[in-house]
Structure 1
Amino acid sequence: MAVRPILLYPDPILKHPTAPVSFKDPALPDMVQDLLDTLEASPGVALAAPQIGYPVRMIVVDVTRKKGAHGHGLVVLINPRVLHQDGPRVVREGCLSVPDYTGNVRRFEQTVVEGTSPDGRVMILTTSGFEAQAYQHELDHLEGTLFLDRLDSLSTDLFRRRGR
C-alpha cells in the first residue's frame, strides 16, 4: 500500500505497549503491506508496527537483508510472543527509530517465538544469533521498550554512529 514514515525517538507512540491484532480488522491487510513496503524501503532488517504508527502487535523480520546473515527469510508475525530464550549475551544493536546511536544490550543467543502469519497459520520459529537478536528487539517495540531502555549505562554502552 504505502511506505510510511518511521517514527523517531522520542515519539510517544514508541513508548506505549501495543494492542493485540484482530484478524477481523478490515485494515489488517493494508497494515501488513505498509509494514512490508516500509521495511523494503529502509536499510533495516526488521520493523515493528508501532514504528510506523500502528499501535498493534505485529512485526516483520528478514535478517537475510544483511550481507552474510542467515535466518528464516521474510516473516510477518501477528501477536508474537516468546516461548523460550537461552544463552544470555551482550550485543551491539541499533534501531531505525534511533538512527544516530547504537548500544550494548543484553539479549539471548537463542529465542523461540510463536506468532500467526497474515494468512492465519500459527508459526513457531527457533532462532539464534543475529536473527534471535532481531526478534527480541522487535518484540521489545511491542511492549514500548527501546534498546535505549536496556542499556546498563548511558556513558559506557551508548555510541554515536560514525558520520552523524
Structure 2
Amino acid sequence: MAEEDKTMPNGAADAAPAAPQIKQRVLAQFVRDLSFENVMAQKGVDGEVKPEIKVEVNLDARKRGAENQFEVITKLKVSSQNAGTENMLFLLELEYSGVFEIEGVPEAQMHPYLMIECPRMTFPFVRRIVSDITRDGGFPPLNLEQIDFVAIYRQQLALRAEQQKKAEA
C-alpha cells in the first residue's frame, strides 16, 4: 500500500492533531429526593395571589466505583411567595441524578465537563418534573427557563477562590 500524502494542496502539512473522541453515555437518571410543600392549601390565602418565584440551583458530581462512571446531581429549590404579603405559597426541593459513562475527556477538563455538559443533558427531565409537580400540587405548571450551567460553574469557581483567600488570610 502507498503511504498517504498529508500535505495540503498549497504544500503545507496538516499539523493539527486529531482531537480526542469523546464518548458519553447516560446509564441512568433518577429522582434522588423530592419534596413539595403546598403551604397555600394548608394555610389558605386571603386576597389576591401574585406569586413570586425564586429558583436556586446547585450541582454536585462524584466519581463512581466503576471505571469512567460519574454521578452528577442537580439540586433545585423552587419557592413561591405571594407578592406583598411574603406568605409562602409552595416550596419544591428536587435532587435529580444522572449516571454517566464518559471517555476521552482530558483529566483537566473533566470537572467542567461534569458540571456543565451533564446537567445540560438531564435538564429537560428536571424541567418536566417541576412542571408536573407544580401542576399536580394545584398550581399552574411552572416551566423553568433554560439554565446557564456555564454561569453557575463560573460562580462556584469564584466562590471557591474567595473562600480560599479568606482561609489563607
TM-score calculated relative to the size of structure 1: 0.26
Larger Rg: 2
